[in-house]
Amino acid sequence: MAEKFTVTPWEVKGDIDYDRLIEQFGTEHIDSALLSRIKKHTGGLHHFLTRKIFFSHRDLNWILDEYQKGNKFFLYTGRGPSGNTHIGHLVPWMFTRWLQDKFGADLYFQLTDDEKFLFKNELTLEETNSLAYENALDIIAVGFKMGKTKIFSDIDYAKTLYPHALRVSKKLTLSTVKSVFGFTDSSNVGEAFFTSMQSVPAFLPSAIAGKNIPCLIPHAIDQDAHFRVSRDILPKLGYYKPAAIHCRFLPALGSGGKMSASEKETAIYTTDSPEAVEKKIKKYAFSGGATSIEEHRKHGGNPDIDISYQWLTFFEEDDAKLKQIHDEYKSGKMLSGELKMILIEKLQTFLKEHQRKRESARKVLDKFIIRD
Ligand code: TYM
C-alpha cells in the first residue's frame, strides 16, 4: 500500500505516521526500559525524552553497554547550510547539548556546504560556504562546550575528510544509492557521492585515534537513510556501526509536516524579530479551536491538532504548566487567541536569549571551527 507521507533527507511531506516509520526504516522504539537506563546515568530525563519527541533509536543499548564498561562515546550531528537556521533545527541540537553535558562527550558537528551546493540549484558554493559560518553562530549559541566541540565545513576541512570519503565511496554502489535515496539517471553525480561525506564524521575520531570509539548521532528521522548506508559500510572498513537517536519534526506553522526553511511564512527563524514571531503565529498557526467563541466554550479546542499547543510541547519545559494549558484549552476555558499569546511570549523570550548568545558567538567562532 502506498504511504500517505514521504520522509527522505531532501523531502518531508504528508501526515507522518512515526510508528510506521520505525517499521519502514527498521529502527527501534525508545521504550521505558531504555529510558530508565538513560536516567541511571543522567539523573533526570530531558522533556524531549519523556514526551517522546525523541522516539526512536539504533543501538542505544550498545552505546550504554560500552559506556558502562568505560568506553565513552562521542557525539556527531550536523547541518546542511541552505539558509538561515529555523527553530526546528534547534530541536536535535538542544538535545545533543544535553547529552554532551550529561555524558561529558566530545561533539563533531558537520556543516555540509558541499551537499547544499549539489542539491540546491539556486545556491553557489560560495553562498553555502558562507551560510555554514552563519549557521555555526546558532550552533554555538545552543551552548556546546568549548574545547569539546569541533565544528567544520566539508569544503574547508576537505583535506582530512576526503580520503576517508573515498574509502566509503569505493564500497558503495550506484545501485545502492539509487535505491536508498531515489536518485535517477538525471541526478548529478555529486549527489550520488555526497552520502560518503556524511558518513565520515561517524568514524573520523576512530581513524585519528587509531582505535574504535563508539559514535552516537542525534538527528531528526529524515537523515536516517544516510546512516543506514554508514551502518552497512563502516564495519567493512573496520569501524563500529554508528548508533543513532531520532526525533520527530517540529511541524510547520500551517500545514503540519515539518518546518522547512524553504517555506518562509510558516517557519520561525532564529533571527526573527519579536514582531515577526507574533505576526506569523497570529496569522499562520493552525488552530484546533472551534469556529466561534460560543462553540469553543461549549466543546473546547483540540490540542492534538493545534500547532501552538504542539509547539509548546517542544518549548515549554514545565510539565505542570503544559498540562494546565492542555486542560484549559481542551475544556474551552482557554481560547485559541490566548493559547497563541502564550506561545508568542514563550518564543519571544527564548529567541531574545538565543539572539544574545548568537551575537556573542561571533567572538569565539574560531575556537570552535576546525579547518585544514
Ligand atoms: P538539515 O540542515 O536539513 O537539518 C539539521 C538538523 O535538523 C533536523 N531537522 C529538524 N528537526 C526537528 N524539526 C524540524 N522541523 C527539522 N528540520 C530539520 C535534521 O534532521 C538535522 O538533524 N544532511 C544534513 C546535515 C548533516 C547531519 C549530519 C544531520 C550532516 N551530518 C549528522 C544530522 C546528523 C542536513 O541537511 O540537515
Give the three-class secondary structure for 258. coil
Read off the pLDDT band of 254 (50, 70, 90).
confident
pLDDT at residue 2, rounded to an integer: 66
The model's pTM: 0.97
CB 157 within 8 A of CB 222: no
HSE (CB half, 13 Å, CA atoms) of 331?
8
**DSSP codes, 341-357:** HHHHHHHHHHHHHHHHH
**In testing the pocket of ligand 1, which one of 25, 75, 79 has its CB within 8 Å of the most ligand atoms?**
79
Copy the grid coordinates of residue 150.
569541533
Percent above pLDDT 70 for the chain: 98
* For ligand 1, mutation pick of 25, 86, 134, 219 (most atoms within 8 Å of CB): 219
Apex 181 CA angle, 107 and 55, nearest 5: 50
pLDDT tens figures, 169-215: 999 999 999 999 999 999 999 999 999 999 999 999 999 999 999 99
Mutual orientation of helices 307-315 and 319-331 as an angle, nearest 10°? 170
- Residues with Cβ within 8 Å of residue 274, at least 6 apart in sequence: 348, 351, 352
Region 312-327 average pLDDT = 98
pLDDT in the model for residue 115: 98
pLDDT, tens digit (0-9, with 9 covering 90-100), for 92-110: 999 999 999 999 999 999 9
Q: Residue 114 and residue 97: Cα distance in Å, rounded?
A: 25
| pLDDT reading at 255 higher than 80 | no
DSSP track, 144-182: PPTTTEEEEETTTTHHHHHHHHHHHHHT--HHHHHHHH-
pLDDT band at 256 (very low <50, low <70, confident <90, very high): low
Which residues make Cβ contacts (< 8 Å) with residue 251, sequence separation at least 6?
257, 258, 259, 307, 310, 311
Distance from Cα 130 to the centre of ligand 1, integer Å: 18
Q: What is the DSSP letter of 241?
A: P
